[in-house]
Amino acid sequence: MAKREERELSTVRPDATALKALAHPARLRMLGMLRTDGPATASQLAERMGLNSGATSYHLRQLEQYGFVKEDSARGNKRDRWWRAAHQSTRTRPGDYDDLDDRAAYAAYRRTVVGQHVATMQSAAAEFDDLPREWAEASTESDWSIWLTPEQSREVVRKLGEVLEEAMDLEAPEGERPADAEIFSLLLHAFPAPGRVAQPGDES
């Protein structure tokens, strides 16, 4: 099976109720750790996140209830439960959340995602001076402001997505990765410049 087909099968598209459960900074971070670093126990996650194991156990149960994580039955025992991510990615579209409550859940989830991205970028910036030269030269902090229509903007985002999908196709499977390979994070944010687009209900 092609890599893109495999990724599609390992993608979850949550409804608004599931998004409400995921719109919690600790749960979103925890899910990201399980997807990136692999299975873990509540105690291991607690140590990494600076929480107590009771809190991580609670958040894991919430994630399990909405299908984001599963117990890893191949590991652990009755005393030490291991958890793994049920999917490798989460995808959402504004059009999937139509009524007022659904849009509110989607907005809360997006704010949580943005907060986590900001924290990740701040951590990366703090480490930048200590990076090996080859990784420093591969990194960037760039922005572009371009006059585009909504249709043109969607096309730009689509093409950027294709480039990233092609990069993911190059990823070697575990056990075959080059010795100098690391997780390389690319965070894509695209939006009309804040304060410039008229909002519904604004006076003309």
The model's pLDDT over 21-30, given as tens digits with 9 standing for 90+, comes to 999 999 999 9
> What's residue 203's pLDDT?
59
Q: Which two tokens stand for residue 140?
A: 């960037």
Which range of 6-10, 38-42, 172-176, 195-199 scores highest in mean pLDDT? It is: 38-42
Confidence check: pLDDT of 3 > 90: no
Distance, in Å, from the CA atom of 127 to the CA atom of 121, rounded to the nearest integer, reads: 10
In 3D space, the residue among 64, 74, 77, 72 whose CA is nearest the CA of residue 31 turns out to be 64
C-beta of residue 19 within 8 angstroms of C-beta of residue 105: yes
- In 3D space, the residue among 58, 42, 167 whose CA is nearest the CA of residue 34 turns out to be 42
* CB-neighbour burial class of residue 120 (10 A; exposed 0-12, middle 13-18, buried 19+): middle
pLDDT in tens, 89-119: 999 999 999 999 999 999 999 999 999 999 9
Instruction: Give the pLDDT score at 201.
Output: 66
- What is the average per-residue pLDDT within 38-44? 95
Helices (H), 38-170: 42-49, 53-65, 100-127, 133-138, 150-169
Beta bridge partners of 83: 40, 71
End-to-end CA distance of the chain: 53
204 pLDDT band, cuts 50/70/90, is: low
105: how many CB neighbours lie within 10 A of its CB? 22
Share of the chain above pLDDT 70, in %: 95
CATH number of the structural domain 11-132: 1.10.10.10
Contact 59, 27 (CB under 8 A): yes
Other C-beta atoms lying within 10 Å of the C-beta of residue 87: 19
Q: How many CB atoms lie within 10 A of CB 161?
A: 11
Chain-centroid distance, C-alpha 93 = 14
Residue 89 near residue 11 (C-beta atoms within 8 A): yes
